[in-house]
A and B are shown apart, each in its own frame.
Chain A
Amino acid sequence: EAGVTQFPSHSVIEKGQTVTLRCDPISGHDNLYWYRRVMGKEIKFLLHFVKESKQDESGMPNNRFLAERTGGTYSTLKVQPAELEDSGVYFCASSQVQLGTQYFGPGTRLTVL
C-alpha cells in the first residue's frame, strides 16, 4: 500500500511568486490534514479536510493560502503571493477515521527568497 506522497519535495521561489503544493493521501483515507513547521518552531496545524469538505481551516495563516481537495482525493495548497515568513516545511497527513492514526507524507520544504 502506497503511503502519503507530497510534491514537490523542495521548492525555492522568490517573494511574490506563487507556489502550489500537492498531497496524495493513502487511498481510502477520508481525512486529510495540512501542517507546517517554520524554522525553530513546533509543527502547527493548518487545515483539515473530510473528503472534499473543509472541516476546519482555523490554522490557515491568512488569505494568501488556499487549499482544495477536488473529488476528495488529492489536495493542493497554494500560496499566492508568497512571503518570506511562509518558508518552512509543509506536511500532509491522512487518516482513515477522525482521531485515528495519522500517516504523514515526507513534507515539502518551501524556501521563499
Chain B
Amino acid sequence: KNEVEQSPQNLTAQEGEFITINCSYSVGISALHWLQQHPGGGIVSLFMLSSGKKKHGRLIATINIQEKHSSLHITASHPRDSAVYICAVPQARHAGGTSYGKLTFGQGTILTVHP
C-alpha cells in the first residue's frame, strides 16, 4: 500500500461540473502539496496547506490532519483544467533539530474536462 493514495485515478467531466479529487496519506506530515501537470508540461505547485482550507480562483484545497485526508475541488470546470493532479507529502525527519522536505507522491489523477 502506498503511503499516499489518490482517488479517482481517472476522472472525466463535462465543462462546468464540480470536481473533487481525494488524497489519503498514512505518514505524519507537516503540510501537503497539490501539484498540477499538463500534458507534456512541467509540474506546477497549486497549494501547500497544513490545515483548513485554501482557495485560488476556481481551485479549493482542504485538509483534515486528524483523518489524514485532503481534497482538491475545482468549481465550474473548464477544458483547460485537463491535467494530471498530484498530491504529495513531505517526510519530515528530525535529527538534532534538522528536518527536510523530500516529497512522497500519489500516483496522480488524470482529469479530462470535455467542452
Q: Do A and B come from one complex?
A: yes
- B98 / chain A contacts, CB cutoff of 8 Å: 98
A48 and B45 contacting across the interface, CB-CB below 8 Å: no
- B10 / chain A contacts, CB cutoff of 8 Å: none
Size range of the interface on B?
20 to 34
- A59 (CB) vs chain B CBs: closest residue: B102
Q: Mark B99-110, 1 if CB is under 8 A from A, else 0.
A: 111111111100
- Taking the closest CB of chain A, its distance from the CB of B7, in whole angstroms, is 14
Interface-centre pick from B48, B90, B98, B103 (highest chain A CB count, 10 A):
B103
Size range of the interface on A?
20 to 34
Residues of A that sit less than 8 Å from B by CB:
31, 33, 35, 41-45, 48, 50, 55-56, 59, 91, 93, 95, 98-107
Residues of B that sit less than 8 Å from A by CB:
2, 4, 30-31, 33, 35, 41-45, 48, 86, 88, 90, 92, 98-108
What are 14 A-B contacts with C-beta separation under 8 Å? A31-B100, A33-B101, A42-B4, A43-B105, A44-B105, A45-B102, A56-B100, A56-B102, A98-B98, A98-B101, A99-B99, A101-B33, A102-B103, A107-B42
